[in-house]
Amino acid sequence: MSSNTAAKRRAAFRAVKHIENGMIIGIGSGSTALQAIKMIGELLDSGELYDIMGVPTSTQTMFESIKVKIPLTTLDEHPQLDLGIDGADQIDSKLNAIKGGGGALFKEKIVAAACKEYILIADNTKIADTLGLDQALPVEIHPFALTPAMKAIEKLGSKATLRMTGGKLGPLVTDNGNYLIDADFGPIADPWWLEQQLHSIPGVIETGLFLGYANLAYIGGKGSVKRLKPSIDTVLKKNR
Ligand code: 5RP
């Protein structure tokens, strides 16, 4: 196992400890979330964990959850979730994050918003002083709006690239039938302002800015895990 995977596992392990019997959980997407899924499967298998259900945030997560026999449910049956665990592409000290590297940001954000407690898990390469530093921001766009929306996103100060897919020719199509733009803004001085601006563009379905959702993060490193809480001004902004 690579040291990076071991770091992801360490972070996932700490987050999975928050799951209690009877909980309805949001299940994130990506390679770090996958470590959590595997651990949940093992705990269910051993009987240590029982009576839980999960809402998956992507088709991949749905398949992986089914593989390890996590009972699945929907937000229609359970509009409020006890706990969500998800990875991130970049996390700042306020626990604001950029997500969507795996293209699952739309459902991931809906699930994040539905969680009473939301924990980010990542290895320590994901920590940044400022969001956007060497990290493009994924934005999900309705196909009909592609070119005008892309131009509008560039007008906000980014270099926007349509994400292409491997395995077939053409653009990547998300689980929701949309396109993804990776918008490189450089360091994002005011992510809350940018989030508002992006949402005012017709055709923008969702952005990878996850602001004020996480109340805890576990960051795996070499043989250790850092436990981070958001700073107070993030909590105040969330409640505004
Ligand atoms: C998918 C995501 C992932 O959580 C994010 O890309 C992190 O992935 P990984 O754990 O593989 O680094 O947002 O849309």
State the Cα–Cα distance between residues 240 and 196, nearest whole angstrom. 14
Which pLDDT score, from 0 to 100, does residue 76 have? Answer: 98
At 207, give phi and psi (nearest 5°): -120, 165
SS3 at position 121:
strand
Read off the pLDDT band of 235 (50, 70, 90): low
Maximum C-alpha span of the chain: 54
**Closest atom of ligand 1 to CA, residue 126:** 12
Read off the pLDDT band of 232 (50, 70, 90): low
Q: Spell out which residues line ligand 1, taking CB within 6 angstroms.
A: 28-33, 86-89, 99-105, 108
Q: Is the separation of the CB atoms in 25 and 84 below 8 Å?
A: yes
Read off the pLDDT band of 234 (50, 70, 90): low
Average pLDDT over residues 156-179: 96
Distance between Cα 105 and ligand 1 center (Å): 9
- Closest residue to atom 1 of ligand 1, CA basis: 102
Distance between Cα 90 and ligand 1 center (Å): 9
Read off the pLDDT band of 240 (50, 70, 90): very low
State the Cα–Cα distance between residues 181 and 141, nearest whole angstrom. 7
Say if strands 81-86 and 53-56 run parallel, antiparallel, or are unpaired: unpaired
Which pLDDT score, from 0 to 100, does residue 166 have? Answer: 86
Domain boundaries, the chain: 3-127+211-232, 137-206
Read off the pLDDT band of 236 (50, 70, 90): low
Q: What is the CATH T-level fold of the domain 3-127+211-232, as seen in this structure?
A: Rossmann fold (3.40.50)
Angle between helical axes of 3-16 and 31-46 (0-180°, round to 10): 50
Q: What number of residues does the chain have?
A: 240
DSSP-H helix ranges across 47-160: 59-67, 105-114, 146-155
Q: Is the separation of the CB atoms in 156 and 135 below 8 Å?
A: no
Distance between Cα 28 and ligand 1 center (Å): 8
Average pLDDT over residues 45-69: 98
pTM recorded for the entire structure: 0.95
Q: Both tokens of residue 167?
A: 């395995």
Which pLDDT score, from 0 to 100, does residue 3 have? Answer: 82
Mean pLDDT of the chain: 95
User: Which option is the CATH number for 137-206: 3.50.50.60, 3.30.70.260, 3.40.50.1220, 2.40.50.100?
Assistant: 3.30.70.260
Which pLDDT score, from 0 to 100, does residue 101 have? Answer: 97
CA distances from 227 to 6, 70, 200, 217, 230 (A): 16, 26, 35, 6, 10
- Other beta carbons within 10 angstroms of residue 31's beta carbon come to 14
The answer on pLDDT for 237 being more than 80 is: no
**Closest atom of ligand 1 to CA, residue 121:** 10
The answer on pLDDT for 8 being more than 90 is: yes
Q: Which of 190-194, 224-228, 229-233 has the lowest mean pLDDT?
A: 229-233
State the Cα–Cα distance between residues 91 and 145, nearest whole angstrom. 29
Backbone conformation region of residue 11, classed left if phi is above 0, alpha if psi is from -120 to 50, else beta: alpha
- Closest residue to atom 7 of ligand 1, CA basis: 88
- List, for residues 169-188, the tens digit of each pLDDT value: 999 999 999 999 999 999 99
- List, for residues 87-110, the tens digit of each pLDDT value: 999 999 999 999 999 999 999 999
Provide, rounded to the nearest whole percent, the portion of the chain with pLDDT above 70: 96
For ligand 1, mutation pick of 4, 89, 126 (most atoms within 8 Å of CB): 89
The answer on pLDDT for 238 being more than 60 is: no
| Residue 240: Cβ-neighbour burial (10 angstroms; 0-12, 13-18, 19+) | exposed
Catalytic residues: 108
Q: Is the separation of the CB atoms in 38 and 9 below 8 Å?
A: no
